[in-house]
Amino acid sequence: MKYLIVGIGNIGQGYLHTRHNIGFDVLDHFAANNNLIFEDVRLGAKCQLRHKGRIYHFLKPSTYVNLSGKAVRYWLQKLKIEPANMLIVVDDLNLPLGYLRLKPNGSDGGHNGLKDISTTLGLTNYPRLRFGIGSDYSKGNQIDYVLGKWSHTEWEQITEPIKTAGEIILNFGLEGIEKTMNRFNTKP
């Protein structure tokens, strides 16, 4: 059983620890806690973990958020993994800060990374873990908000959910999406 876990984010120091890069932060935290090291590969950075008979391939695309589909398609094909065994970790403005929502499919919800993945793959039927970044911005400032860095207080609020996201990733491979949703999804 093989799984592709994709953290959505933008490469480069200027984007480090921004709200839009929570997918990268989740994967970086998971990798650090499991002594995994990301290596630069075609269209991204990748590492893998063998755990209880499963192989988890972790990918941070280098194609920037809005063009994530190219890297996702390439690695799904190269690793011969079905979209049902892929999990996209992505920021979500529509969820309160730190809330996690695992879904088996759905719309892009206005997220350009999910939109590009769906367009490139030609489907919306793939699992995604949405990480709430809140929506504490004034009208017209959405781009500045998602590309902005976490405040110290916000970072403290998301530390535990980042750890929980790692548990969700492992559980997704071990028990499947339905059981994982029942176990981890909570109402905001």
pLDDT of residue 151 exceeding 70: yes
Contact 68, 116 (CB under 8 A): yes
Q: How many residues does the chain have?
A: 188
What CATH number did the domain enclosing 6 receive?
A: 3.40.50.1470
Mean model confidence pLDDT for the chain: 95
pLDDT digits (tens, 9 = 90+) for 55-78: 999 999 999 999 999 999 999 999
Average pLDDT over residues 81-96: 96
Domain count of the fold of the chain: 1
* Catalytic member of 20, 51, 111, 152: 20
20 is catalytic: yes
Predicted structure pTM score: 0.95
Q: Which of 28, 23, 18 is nearest to 7 (CA)?
A: 23
Find the domain containing 178 and state its range: 2-184
Strands 54-61 and 2-7: parallel
